[in-house]
Amino acid sequence: MNGQRKHSRRAFLKSMAAASGTLLLSHLSSCTLATSKKPNILFLLADDQRPDTIAAWGNSHIQTPNIDSLVRNGFSFRRNYCMGSPHGAVCIPSRAMINSGRAYFKIDLNLNGVETLGEILRRNGYKTFATGKWHNGQESFLRSFEEGKAVFFGGMADHTRVPVADTTPDGKVVNKRTAEKFSSECFANAAEHSMGCPLIFSGSNIPKNKYSHAFTYLLDVFPTVLNFAGIQPAADIDGQNLQPVWEGKKSGVRDAVFLAFGKGQRAIHKCPWKLIRYPQINYTQLFNLQDDPDELYNLAEEPEQVSRVKELMNLLKTRQQKFGDTQALSSANPRPMKIDLSGHERKPDRHQPEWIRKKYFGE
């Protein structure tokens, strides 16, 4: 997104596929033209990027030179989450939260009735452009971006034959076609599963090669970007401006993180403890993530943890109310703890490419 509508110098918002694990990279750079002090914004959102898949963050088994460069030249939030999803397509609420600054329980996932990040930036003189995946309805895309190139409006597709289209400034969807390149090439060269996802900000006046373990969400991107652009966000959003953290004015913006998935899981993480509640089977887990980061030893039934479980359950209920989650945490008729799938026929997802169906299902 560009701070100078009338000048040729441009920055692009590249909105790629978000999923259960997401890579979020925002680059905020000050403009040198005298006509405006608005920062240019380059925003990259990648698909299925776990937070432990970055070499600069300690993974010695892979090479991620471009992301490592962003780490060295920016500020990393090492405990960032997407909050959750009502279904398996976590990309949809992730993108909706990023573009609204609100918890997914409170909004229509096609962003109907919500002023998006792109809309606000457009109203404040930015030229907005997007390429890549947008599984949140065409109407919200057209409101958010003046122009789009090689945009995929669907959910899943064969990565070698992605249906894409372009959009024009007058709000038309044109040039519908099947991309001839692999998805990461036809969208943008930035494609590099869990609720955790990397978050890196890089740009003018942002510390280099620094990091924080503060609890953050994807929806914090919304007020952070607007604040950096000198725009005041609405007061009713759930996201928090993260700039005070990298400036050293705050150690964090929340004391715990609330997570949710479908109707089957709710969790609260308050360091070092994490409580996971399974409402449909009335089951609770408690982990000390400092001693047990892989969540292998459930402590919920230990007598010494009774008060802690009660405390965290109360906090979980409080955060449910805060974010508009109406899911009950107990069931009068709980489902069985285990399901026997013996004899059940395996069926491939209808969205899977033909070569996967042939290789793994013999179709």
Say what the alpha-carbon torsion angle 93, 94, 98, 101 is, to the nearest 10 degrees.
Answer: 50
H-assigned helices in 89-235? 91-100, 117-123, 138-144, 183-187, 221-228
Angle formed at CA 278 by CA 276 and CA 282, multiple of 5 degrees:
120
**Interacting residues of 249 by C-beta distance below 8 A, sequence separation 6+:** none
Q: Are 263 and 279 in contact (CB under 8 A)?
A: yes
CA-nearest of 257, 270, 280, 274 to 327 is 280
Regions of the chain with pLDDT less than 70: 1-36, 184-194, 351, 363
AA letter at 111: L
pLDDT of residue 36: 56
Every domain of the chain with CATH number 3.30.1120.10 lies at: 257-323
Cis peptide before 336 (omega within 30 of 0): no
Q: What is the CATH number of domain 13-246?
A: 3.40.720.10
pLDDT of residue 343: 86
pLDDT of residue 18: 32
Paired sense of beta strands 265-270 and 13-14, if any:
unpaired
Q: Are 330 and 282 in contact (CB under 8 A)?
A: yes
pLDDT of residue 230: 93
pLDDT of residue 234: 94
Q: Classify burial at 282, counting beta carbons within 10 Å of its beta carbon; exposed 0-12, middle 13-18, buried 19 or more.
A: middle
pLDDT of residue 339: 85
**Interacting residues of 8 by C-beta distance below 8 A, sequence separation 6+:** none
Every domain of the chain with CATH number 3.40.720.10 lies at: 13-246
pLDDT of residue 16: 29
Q: What is the CATH number of domain 257-323?
A: 3.30.1120.10
CA dist., res. 221 & res. 232, Å (int):
13
Distance in angstroms between the alpha carbons of the first and the last residue of the chain: 45
